[in-house]
Structure 1
């Protein structure tokens, strides 16, 4: 898979060239066409996009994975500058992006259920609710990339909860946030982070979500697949796989843990695919 291409302001222009796939062990297999998958560099989306990208590669597509900022990812697929994404958190986290770009997208439904966002702390901290916060961690919440849905929700929480009136939300990145979390836990220090699940950190550390009495962070979320208009006609096999793609929190956490443990995303994706052949077969059913 080609990956991590920079996003240009001009259209990426993905051209789908469908052709017959010649089975010849002595020659390079002819590709079905090109597919460009957009994703945000969050641990969940790195895992899911590399897995589905590898599956598409295995059935004969030339796959490019393009990391983008969240809003640009939605815009790119809506404009046909990328073909698909498997990273739409609904109903709350990406509600603004869905409202803005949804009419120009094809929604293929949920690919994972039981997702959640909120404020997360180590379990040793003596707070259980957002309303319990006073001056912990220097009145600072460690966040991720500005513009992410959990960041917007946290900004709303700071505005809605009177006890957070003097608090600061510190933008960083998902990687920097987990490094800060790891360092704080190693020293048994206070830290509040913007969190979401599924995520490998819940398997690696003893963490808890803070209760959200005002419901600012919403309830249970789903992660959804969206594709550009016309993809079904241009690349029907890719469309079928993306439409069928569905897995569990345990599945995605297995891939995320492998990546966090030192495997590169391509290797982690390949290992999971090899170990879950029956599930992958369901996604590719009816495709030669």
Structure 2
């Protein structure tokens, strides 16, 4: 019931953003027929980065193109399966090449990749960047007895069953961290663990990802991963159901041209946490008119 209510509230918030198309947007009759009266279903999982970018795409689709948009909140595994089954049109949070490799293998050939939304994303283990973490530079340092004692032999994870938790379990084996416990929690668990350690002047290890709001609030750093157990830099792609580009060539082209710097994503997250993600998306587009014009028209004027 709570999930359904949240989906409804998100859809209503998105619909409130719909308004008359800007006067300088001149569309062909074909483009108008494609958009007017049609709905695009955009899926997102419960991560701030996914909510921020999904809301941004929804705002572009509605305010600049004239589509109706339905935002669908679900877990990552469901989003991939729903996209492959044609029950969703678009998702903007496909982490490649490592983080979502298992999901991508399962749906190979049944979705369309519209391109990279942003790059420089990262998964890893995070510690406070404070004196309490001195000497803990690499994941391999965790194998030392003195370090294990300082962090209480614990690595605070996020939700069980997620890709980063599976990679973290593999990392324990790669680095021979037999005396450690990988403790699942919820999405807020790692951030709370790091906050508590900083407040107490201690250190801790938590599973982390970037972009994430926590890096804008606390001094944190990733541990080096010389074995590449958690993968390298990630590119976040926009995926669509099979046939989406043929059904909606204009929307497909616009989504394919959307690109953000990592700093833009983190700014959207920070603004969204303060004002709400619908308002953050509208403010971003108002302040980035030339970029939004390029996304919509495919030309720089």
Q: TM-score range by the shorter chain?
A: 0.7 to 0.9
- Residue in structure 1 matched with residue 110 of structure 2 by the alignment: 104
Q: 1:204 to 1:139 in 2, by over 3 A?
A: same
Please state if 1:89 is matched with 2:95. yes
TM-superposed CA distance for 1:155, in Å, is 0.8
TM-superposed CA distance for 1:4, in Å, is 4.1
Q: Matched residue of 1:53: which SS?
A: helix
Matches for 1:1-288 after TM superposition, within 5 Å: 4-5=6-7, 31-58=36-63, 59-124=65-130, 125-126=133-134, 127-133=136-142, 134-162=148-176, 164-260=177-273, 262-285=274-297
Counterparts of 1:104 and 1:149, CA distance in 2? 21
Q: Runs in 1 of length 4+ with deviation above 6 angstroms?
A: none
Counterparts of 1:183 and 1:82, CA distance in 2? 39
Check whether the contact 1:3–1:66 (CA below 8 A) recurs between aligned residues: no
Check whether the contact 1:142–1:194 (CA below 8 A) recurs between aligned residues: yes
Q: Matched residue of 2:292: which SS?
A: helix
Counterparts of 1:153 and 1:264, CA distance in 2? 32
Q: Is the helix fraction higher in 1 or 2? A: 2
Counterparts of 2:88 and 2:69, CA distance in 1? 11
TM-score, reference length from structure 1: 0.85
Aligned residues: 264
TM-superposed CA distance for 1:91, in Å, is 0.7
Structure 2 unaligned residues grouped into runs of 5+: 9-19, 24-34, 143-147
TM-superposed CA distance for 1:286, in Å, is 5.7
Structure 1 unaligned residues grouped into runs of 5+: 7-21
Q: Matched residue of 1:55: which SS?
A: helix
TM-score, reference length from structure 2: 0.82
Check whether the contact 1:71–1:147 (CA below 8 A) recurs between aligned residues: no
RMSD: 2.3
